Structure 1
Amino acid sequence: MTSRFTELVVDCRDPERLAAFWCAVLDFKVIDRSEGRVEIGSWVPTVEDVRARQMPPTLQFIQVPEDKAVKNRLHLDVSPIDGSTKDEVTRLLSLGATMTDVGQGSDRNWVVMADPEGNEFDVLRTLAPQQNQLDL
């Protein structure tokens, strides 16, 4: 007997806004929505696909009445695939992300950011081909 990791759920005030932000960050598409809920992903899951193999999880944004109050216990890490980490941070700032400090210190090789509702995430080293890589 086994289970699959199929969705990661994010509580938020504005599911449409966060879904749009994360679609732009990850090049995902909205794959389902209902009142107070938006699901995004890189693929449209079917029962057959999920049963056959582990696939990337989708992200679901669920509307809740309260604002985020404390540091996330779980967060996403993203890695740029076609440019430098510095360029990706600049792009994410233009999409509405902010730089944030969660006590990470200055001696690190990742950048801590927050989405438009304050959920922390990390931008890791670039995975772009070597000629496109620049320092943080």
Structure 2
Amino acid sequence: MALRLEAVVFDVADATAVAAFWAGLLDREVLTEPGGALVPGDKTQVGLRFLTSDTLQVGPRQLHLHLTSTSLEHQQRTVETALRLGGRHIDVGQGPDDKFVVLADPGGNELCVIEPGNNYLAGTGYLGEVTCDGTRDVGLFWRDALGWPLVLDNNEQTAVQSPLGGTKISWDSWSGSPIQPKNARNRQRFDLVTADPTSETERLVSLGATRLADRADRIEMADPNSNEFGLHTA
């Protein structure tokens, strides 16, 4: 497949601070970029890109990240490390019996530290999942766009994963309820790279994407749920 998911993008108030948090938590490097910073991934772990923005969207988040644990001690170390690096506990309605821990990074982006023994995330690596608000149709779109197999298809829940394994990407319309209406550009979105943006843009449009704008450094598009994503040359 000529298309590759390079990173999940987050608009934040301070890209340097949030990138440092994630680099410290995931034991990765930080690459400084114009207007932000990249915490690169690899063939099985998705990268994270942070852009400094003063027009942050106010409203429900579009996605959050799941970190895996190999033991209860590992889970606790991850939580302690996140808090030391500037994260904080948040309440999203989790119950006292839930075994996962919900945190926010210094930019307010939600992450869950999943308990050990979670079979669904077994073998995904430390950054186990990017879980998104979306319909089944958008999950099928990204299956075809990325060429990743569908590893979950249950009612309105879908997930894809690279043939090489690693981080899963999932979509859930939250028990069949409509996705949240958009009143601004998503502050969380995907960045894709390709050697042939012209052909890939045409292919993505044929799959149901919308071409929004041509920028100097990228083509801006939207998936069938109107979630923006960027396409640029590798």
What TM-score, normalized to structure 2? 0.44
Counting only pairs closer than 5 Å after superposition, residues 11-30 of structure 1 correspond to structure 2 as 11-30=11-30
Unmatched segments (≥5 aa) in structure 2: 118-234
Structure with more contact order per residue of length (Cα contacts < 8 Å, sep ≥ 6) = 1
Q: More strand per residue: 1 or 2?
A: 2
- Distance (whole Å) between structure 2 residues aligned to residue 84 and residue 101 of structure 1: 22
Residue of structure 2 in register with 1:40 after alignment:
39
Shift of residue 108, structure 1, vs aligned partner: 1.4
Alpha-carbon displacement from aligned partner over 1:9-38 (angstroms, at most 9, x marks no partner): 01101111111111001011113412x221
Query: SS of the counterpart of 2:76?
Result: helix
Larger radius of gyration: 2
Counting only pairs closer than 5 Å after superposition, residues 1-136 of structure 1 correspond to structure 2 as 3-34=3-34, 36-43=35-42, 54-67=43-56, 69-80=58-69, 83-126=73-116
Query: SS of the counterpart of 1:29?
Result: coil
CA contact (8 A) 1:111 1:123 kept: yes
Unmatched segments (≥5 aa) in structure 1: 44-53, 128-136
Shift of residue 94, structure 1, vs aligned partner: 1.1
CA contact (8 A) 1:68 1:117 kept: no
- Distance (whole Å) between structure 2 residues aligned to residue 2 and residue 92 of structure 1: 35
Shift of residue 66, structure 1, vs aligned partner: 3.1
What TM-score, normalized to structure 1? 0.73
Quick one: which amino acid aligns to residue 108 of structure 1?
A: D
Query: SS of the counterpart of 1:108?
Result: coil
- Distance (whole Å) between structure 2 residues aligned to residue 87 and residue 71 of structure 1: 29
CA contact (8 A) 1:9 1:61 kept: yes
What fraction of aligned residue pairs are identical, expressed as a percent? Answer: 32
Taking a change above 3 Å as real, the CA distance of residues 126 and 68 of structure 1, as seen in their structure-2 partners, is farther
Quick one: which amino acid aligns to residue 91 of structure 2?
A: D
Please tell me the root mean square deviation across aligned C-alpha atoms, in Å.
2.2
Moved over 4 A (4+): none
Query: SS of the counterpart of 2:98?
Result: coil
Quick one: which amino acid aligns to residue 21 of structure 2?
A: F
- Distance (whole Å) between structure 2 residues aligned to residue 80 and residue 116 of structure 1: 21
Taking a change above 3 Å as real, the CA distance of residues 93 and 8 of structure 1, as seen in their structure-2 partners, is same
CA contact (8 A) 1:68 1:118 kept: no
